[in-house]
Structures are given as C-alpha cells and as structure tokens.
Amino acid sequence: MTDIDDLRSKFLDLEFDRTGFVIDAEQSATVAKTSGETRSEFIDTTDPNFEACAPILASLASGRRLPIDFPKLGGISMDGGKAVACIKPVRPGIKLTGKTHLHDIYAKSGRSGRMIFLVSRMQLYNDSGEHLATTDSRQVIRERPDK
Amino acid sequence: MTVQTIGDVVFGDEITPWQPDTSLQATRSFAHAVGYSGSGRFEDHSKARAQGLPGALVPGIMGMGFLTSMIHRWAPRGKIKYIDTVFRAPVLADHEHTVTAVVTDIDEENGEVVLDLTIQNEQEETRVFGTATVQLPAAS
C-alpha cells in the first residue's frame, strides 16, 4: 500500500512545472457562452472589462501532470474535480506564467478500496509578477488491491 | 430571483434551479474552445461508447461553467472569488440536468456569501457538487 505520509513529505509544495499561456479572447467568450453565461464582461470581447471566465482558467494545463520523480501509483486515474480562486481579473491576450506544485495528497477508503487524491495547484502570474488566479486540479487514483 | 447587495441574501435561500444546454452542439463547441476535442468523447455518442463510456460527456469544467453562469444571473453585481467543483459521476450530453445552489453562509462584514452547488441528472442523482464564495456589494 502506498505510504501517503512519505509522498507528502517528499513532494508537497515543491514547484515541478512552469508553463506560459496566453488566453484567447474569442475562445474564452465561446466557453462562457456555451456554459450559459450572460454577463457582458465574460461573453463580449469588446467590453472594456472583458475577462477570462473561470472554466477557461481551469482548463489551463501544466506541462507535466506530476513531478518527474513521482512514483507510478498504478490503478485507474480519474479527473476528480477543479477549483478556481479568482484574485484579480485575468485579461485575455496577456502573457501568463503558471507555476505548479502538489498542494495536497490524501487517501479515502470506501467499500471498493482506497482512493488516492492528488491536488495539483497552479498559480497564475502576469509579466509583472502579480498573482492573478489559482487553479486546483484534483486527480483521483483508485488503488489496486495488491498495491 | 436576483440579489444586488449582501443585504438581499437570505440564509438557506435556493437560487432558482436551471436546466443548462447539454446538447452535443454545445459540448462540441466547448470542447473545441478548451482543446479537448478530437477523441469524440465530448462530441459523438457512438465514438464515446466505443471508448466504454455510456455516451458523449459534458466536460467537467463545462459543469463549472453552468454553475458560474447561474451564480452570475442570481447576483448580477457579484464576483465569484472561489469555486470548487467535485466531479462525482459523468454528466451525459443530450440529457436534461438541473443546476441548483443554496446559501449556506453569509459574512456581512466582508460582503461574502457561500453557496453549496449541485448538478443532478433526470434521476435526481448528484453528478457534480461543490461550493462557491461570492462577493457582493454592501447593503446601501
């Protein structure tokens, strides 16, 4: 069985990826409109307050999903959820840098065995180093009984 | 029902439930815009079934979009500071789903409201749940 405390001590809070992004205004507006959004600042690219919507921030993927030396846990991996913390408006077209680390590792046991949760946190910064938003991506791994 | 300021919010209030567009056309457009298209799992029922899925899926983060859209309609002057969504089970495209939210906390001093969020299918099974923290203007 995977030692969760060992994984936490070795991997939590260490940046393992840095990726650049530029959000396209039209793509963000499409994401917002197809989700049913009605507010102008998310669907009208000509609105002076136009900003990227939360789902498109959640879609930004780091270059690596896990640290390069993270052990293979086996089992079935699933997308367990996403979170977005909006600190300042993210304007499409600007250069963003996403810095990613493992924010949490924990396990839950149920009738079908143990599930391991890996929470990758990406902090998004603009060129001036201002922290604009944070996204969490929760990966769930159903552990194999023999692990 | 909409709220304009923190003073309009009542603990336990349920935001008017909403049925979002889960059509293949919508999921296809969304998947294309976020770079998820190509495999067919969000675009084509038969291709999704060939991958062992029950049908084409609504992308998980599109569910987040349904929830943020509902919150923005409820609070036209509100700002979502934080939203967390847990993908409990697949949301199937072309099936009716209902998006709901309930006020579970009000912090009048900081102008913040906490909402519990759910997306349920036609069988009233919860497929997505989560929470959001929304900032609202102070009561005038």
In this prediction, residue B110 carries a pLDDT of: 96
CB contact under 8 A, A82 and B33: no
Percent of chain B with pLDDT over 90: 98
Instruction: Out of A31, A59, A83, name the one closest to residue B83 (CB).
Output: A83
pLDDT tens digits for range B66-115:
999 999 999 999 999 999 999 999 999 999 999 999 999 999 999 999 99
- For the whole model, what pTM was predicted? 0.95
Local structure of residue A89 (DSSP, 8 states): -
CA distances to A19, A144, B35, B42 from B32, rounded to whole Å, are: 21, 34, 5, 9
Numbered residues of chain A with Cβ closer than 8 Å to any chain B Cβ: 27-28, 30-32, 34-39, 42, 53-56, 58-59, 78-86, 136, 138
Q: Mean of the per-residue pLDDT values for chain B?
A: 96
The residues on B that touch A, with CB distances below 8 Å, are 18, 20-21, 26-27, 29-30, 32-36, 60-62, 64-66, 68-70, 72-73, 76, 79-87, 130
CB count, 10 Å around CB of A72? 7
Greater confidence (A145 vs B41) lies with B41
ipTM attached to this prediction:
0.96
pLDDT 10s digits, A16-55: 999 999 999 999 999 999 999 999 999 999 999 999 999 9
- A132: which 2 tokens? 């604009």
Residues of chain A with pLDDT under 70: 145-147
Q: What DSSP line would sit under B84-138, residue for residue?
A: EEEE-SPPBTTS--EEEEEEEEEETTTTEEEEEEEEE-TT--EEEEEEEEEE-PP
Class of domain A4-23+64-142: alpha beta
Q: Which residue has the higher pLDDT, B63 or A77?
A: B63
> For residue B134, what are the β-bridge partners?
B80, B113
Q: Give the model's pLDDT for residue A99.
A: 98
The answer to whether the CB atoms of B33 and A136 lie below 8 A apart is no
